Amino acid sequence: MKARITVTLKSGVLDPQGKAIEGALHGLGFADAANVRQGKIIEMKLDETNEAAARARVEDMCRKLLANPVMENYSIEISA
């Protein structure tokens, strides 16, 4: 299976990079760009063939390394 993990800063956590990107977009004339937040995407391939088991495995990875629950949320997509 393939996994795609999206890690984002929790709402309420200051995202100065998002703010800088928003400022640059405004400078380029995209005046309506608001609440810009920057996150990251992690992709991987897994030997696991069962979707639920693959998801559980990636959940474990998120808790142990891929996301920091103090400041980040994550979501997981599993595909064949």
Which residues in this chain contact another protein in the complex, by CB under 8 A? 13-14, 16-17, 20, 64-66, 68, 70-71
Please state the length of the chain: 80
Nearer to another protein, 2 or 40 (CB): 40
Report the nearest approach of another protein to the CB of residue 66 (Å).
Answer: 7
Closer by beta carbon to another protein, 22 or else 53: 22
Burial 61-74 (b: 16+ CB within 10 A, else e): bbeeebbeeeebeb
Q: Is 20 or 53 the residue whose CB approaches another protein more closely?
A: 20
Q: What whole-number distance in Å separates Cα of residue 56 and Cα of residue 1?
A: 12
